[in-house]
């Protein structure tokens, strides 16, 4: 896919995600998400921290020093404590059409964040996944690429050796060995370390 096509998927996903958050009841914002230690509210706040340029990224890193996961965790918790639910939704809506990834990342990572974190919320709440097949397919490709190159710094380790992952609802497969077949969104949760394979 070209960057233009990927940004189209990002915009679509961000719009779906914003409306999903807008539909949540008050108690759902406090529910645990699939991100370790994060509530639904903290996931939403994290998603507002997209499209940060180099200057803002460095300021955030200086304010919350440590590993990349520490920076992500602390900055997301800080945003969650500072923003109301309405402000989170409004900031998510305003990101639609913003075609600038966070510093040191690419449009691919923007799409992975948008899709995987949406599932981090919808899966435990038992609500519609709010994703498109095209976005799920593109993110599966990206996650497989992470595992091929070992670039999985922000995800838990996932056992992918001697396994062939097959999406039962999409024309997508990756790997070789014993078959793990499941819907595409389930494979996303497996390959991002949210669910055991």
Q: What are phi and psi of 77, to 5 degrees?
A: -65, -40
Q: What number is the average pLDDT over the span 133-161? A: 81
Q: Is the pLDDT assigned to residue 148 strictly greater than 80?
A: no
- Where residue 101 falls among pLDDT bands split at 50, 70, 90? confident
Q: Is the pLDDT assigned to residue 150 strictly greater than 70?
A: no
Write the pLDDT tens digit of every residue in 61-85. 667 676 777 778 888 999 999 999 9
Distance of CA 131 to the CA centre of its chain: 11
Distance of CA 196 to the CA centre of its chain: 17
CA distances from 21 to 52, 72, 97, 117, 119 (A): 21, 20, 18, 12, 12
What SS3 class is residue 27? helix
């Amino acid at each position: 896919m070209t960057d233009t096509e990927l940004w189209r998927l990002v915009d679509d996903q961000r719009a779906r995600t914003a409306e999903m958050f807008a539909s949540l009841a008050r108690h759902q914002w406090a529910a645990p998400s699939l991100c370790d230690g994060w509530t639904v509210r903290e996931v939403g706040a994290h998603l507002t921290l997209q499209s940060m340029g180099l200057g803002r990224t460095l300021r955030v890193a200086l304010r919350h020093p440590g590993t990349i996961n520490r920076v992500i965790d602390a900055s997301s918790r800080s945003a969650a404590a500072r923003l109301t639910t309405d402000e989170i939704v409004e900031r998510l809506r305003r990101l639609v059409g913003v075609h600038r990834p966070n510093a040191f990342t690419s449009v691919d990572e923007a799409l992975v964040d948008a899709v995987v974190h949406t599932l981090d919320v919808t899966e435990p709440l038992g609500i519609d996944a709010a994703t498109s097949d095209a976005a799920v397919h593109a993110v599966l490709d990206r996650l497989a690429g992470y595992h091929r190159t070992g670039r999985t710094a922000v995800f838990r380790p996932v056992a992918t050796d001697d396994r062939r992952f097959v999406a039962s609802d999409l024309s997508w497969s990756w790997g070789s060995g014993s078959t793990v077949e499941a819907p595409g969104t389930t494979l996303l949760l497996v390959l991002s370390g949210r669910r055991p394979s």
